Amino acid sequence: MHHDLGALGTAVNRRATERQLQIMKSMGVNAIRTSHNPPSPEVLEYCDKLGLLVMDEAFDVWRRAKIPNDYSKYFDQWSERDIRDMARRDRNHPSIIMWSIGNEIHEQGSPQGAEIAATLSRYFREEDPTRPTTAGFNNHLAAIKNGLAVNVDVPGFNYKPWDYARVLDEHPDWLLVGSETSSVVSSRGVYHLPLEKYQKHDSLQLTSYDIISPPWAYLPDPEFAAQEKSPRVIGEFVWTGFDYIGEPTPYFLGRGAENDKDWPARSSYFGIVDLAGFPKDRFYLYQSLWSKAPMVHVLPHWNWQGREGQAIPVMIYTNAEEAELIVNGKSLGRKKRGSEPVELPVGPNISKDGKYQSKFRLMWQVPYAPGSIKAVAYNGGKAVATKEIKTAGAPARVRLIPDRTQISANGEDLSFVTVRIEDKDGNLCPAADNLVRFKVEGAGAIAAVDNGNAATTESFQGDSRKAFSGMALLIVRSNRGKGGAIKVAAASEGLSQGNATVTARETASDIM
């Protein structure tokens, strides 16, 4: 997790922090890695409360600089003080399970790095002998050769699932952790056909079929397989839980004029959840591996006007034994999870022929006709979960869904209001980009607006926002010391207005 809170920026807000972690936990997450600096105390407080484990990380650079004026200028003078202060501040949080001494530091390629790694690990052990140290090594073979890996308790490998088994065979007393994995990039609700691997898309959006990644990265599926085969790999930290401001990879990876057409891509596509807090399809792929409550998810949307009769790849993610796809009331049959590998396009770092056979997804090629696609998950022959997507008609209304209808009147508490563009029957309109104008009256005000679009210069501060893939977000903040109703209205030309009410409640601490 990066430190920013999307449209609210980087200043800490307690409710926004809690919401991010709650969304992660609902996916089945049980551990958070901070990147690449110590987190706010509020992050650790909520991880304690929610039962989330934490890899608490100190540095992104040691002596060797990554960019001008980075921490390398201060490392020799401040690294011991900073580690000891960090450990003393955080060591009483039960959520912390590992201390990370660094991420992808340049000293991996130098024998001098071993000495630094040993010193930093010693500082942590002196302050807290109860927890192991780790580090994120992207140059893992150099880190092993030069002695860095042996100077942490649990070596972390960034993007190296194909080497887990071999390294563990060579080091029978080691445990490993996938300290940074996958890095798929996608845009919520966007699907590009045909199903193919590409570097960038001219739309500045990236397909949500969960197959696109930058050159050093890969699909979630090979990591799943490697983790299954190597029980001494204790888990993985996926890059990343939420989208974050900046680093809009793969855009702006080139140089000079090559980047000109990449504007205004301005925030990451890496998130399993978009900047507004709306889950992408990948959320449900991870949930199918990490959660026990029966679930099923089907993609893509079912609005493909102009492609009637053409085959549309339909995927199902589920943690059940098998799933059935029903299209316009007709069953296309059941498939057992893992019994029929799905061929996915991948990069050369995973496969020489550019193809990967995944056992973690189910897929059908379905000739498009308007109507519905329905996924039904079964355990022991009994239906345990259902998900249906219908072809949406024309946008007809704005619907508002607050995540909390009661908040504290302390001037800091928030209600995150989901904004949906729906047809007359309540179906999400997946291509809707209607401009929605907001009005907030009473005991609160607009804190920020967003829609999860990584390629827009629309301001987060304002009273309007375009929908992206049919959705937007309004963040409402209470007024300090003023309880009562917060009335929210959302209007868009030609659509029925959406309305919601949030109540701000005063307590003694709110009016002091």
List pLDDT tens digits, range 395-438.
999 999 999 999 999 999 999 999 999 999 999 999 999 999 99
Maximal C-alpha separation, the chain: 69
Known catalytic residue at 45: no
C-alpha to C-alpha distances, 343 to 184, 238, 360, 441, nearest whole angstrom: 17, 22, 11, 53
Q: What single DSSP character describes residue 231?
A: T
Its sign, for the CA torsion 390, 392, 396, 402, is: positive
Known catalytic residue at 180: yes
Q: What is the C-alpha separation between 328 and 10, in angstroms, rounded?
A: 46
Instruction: Please name the amino acid found at residue 499.
Output: N
The residue among 501, 502, 504, 500 whose CA lies nearest residue 482 is 504
CATH topology of domain 304-390: Immunoglobulin-like (2.60.40)
Q: Quick check: do 304-390 and 397-510 share a fold?
A: yes
Q: Tell me if 177 sits within 8 A of 237, measured CB to CB.
A: yes
Task: Give the pTM.
Answer: 0.96
pLDDT grade for 254, boundaries at 50, 70 and 90: confident
Q: What is the C-alpha separation between 488 and 223, in angstroms, rounded?
A: 44
Mean pLDDT, residues 115-119 taken together: 98
Dump pLDDT digits (tens) for 474-505. Answer: 999 999 988 999 999 999 999 999 999 999 99
Q: Residue 326 has which token pair? A: 């029903």
Mean pLDDT, residues 91-102 taken together: 98
pLDDT for the residue 510: 53
Q: Tell me if 181 sits within 8 A of 140, measured CB to CB.
A: no
Residue 512 has pLDDT above 90, yes or no: no
**Catalytic hit among 104, 321, 322, 324:** 104
pLDDT grade for 511, boundaries at 50, 70 and 90: very low
CB atoms within 10 A of CB 326: 17
Q: What is the C-alpha separation between 26 and 272, in angstroms, rounded?
A: 12
C-alpha to C-alpha distances, 332 to 164, 299, 326, 344, 367, nearest whole angstrom: 38, 15, 6, 21, 12
C-alpha to C-alpha distances, 480 to 191, 505, 506, nearest whole angstrom: 43, 10, 9
Dump pLDDT digits (tens) for 302-357. Answer: 999 999 999 999 999 999 999 999 999 999 999 999 899 999 998 777 888 889 99
Q: What are the extents of the domains in the chain?
A: 30-181+218-240, 304-390, 397-510
Mean pLDDT, residues 60-78 taken together: 96
- CATH 3.30.2130.10 for the 30-181+218-240 domain, yes or no: no
The residue among 295, 364, 372 whose CA lies nearest residue 330 is 372
Cα 218–Cα 98–Cα 83 angle in degrees, nearest 5:
110
User: What CATH superfamily classification does 397-510 receive?
Assistant: Immunoglobulins (2.60.40.10)
Give the DSSP per-residue string, 204-218.
Answer: S---TTS----TT--
Give the DSSP per-residue string, 175-205.
Answer: -EEEEEEE-----TT---SS----S--TTS-
CB atoms within 10 A of CB 441: 11
Q: Tokens 């929210």 correspond to what residue?
A: 488
With b meaning 16 or more CB within 10 Å and e meaning fewer, what string describes 223-258? bbbbbeebeebbebbbbbbbbbbeebbbbbeeeeee
Q: Tell me if 99 sits within 8 A of 58, measured CB to CB.
A: yes
Dump pLDDT digits (tens) for 238-249. Answer: 999 999 999 999
Dump pLDDT digits (tens) for 190-209. Answer: 999 999 999 999 999 999 99
**Catalytic hit among 57, 180, 236, 324:** 180
**Across 144-148, 271-275, 507-511, least confident range:** 507-511
Q: Residue 233 has which token pair? A: 């790999």
Q: Tell me if 155 sits within 8 A of 114, measured CB to CB.
A: no
Q: What is the C-alpha separation between 26 and 21, in angstroms, rounded?
A: 9
The residue among 199, 221, 222 whose CA lies nearest residue 269 is 199
Q: Tell me if 428 sits within 8 A of 391, measured CB to CB.
A: no
Residue 509 has pLDDT above 80, yes or no: no
Task: Give the N- to C-terminal CA distance of the chain in Å, as an integer.
Answer: 34
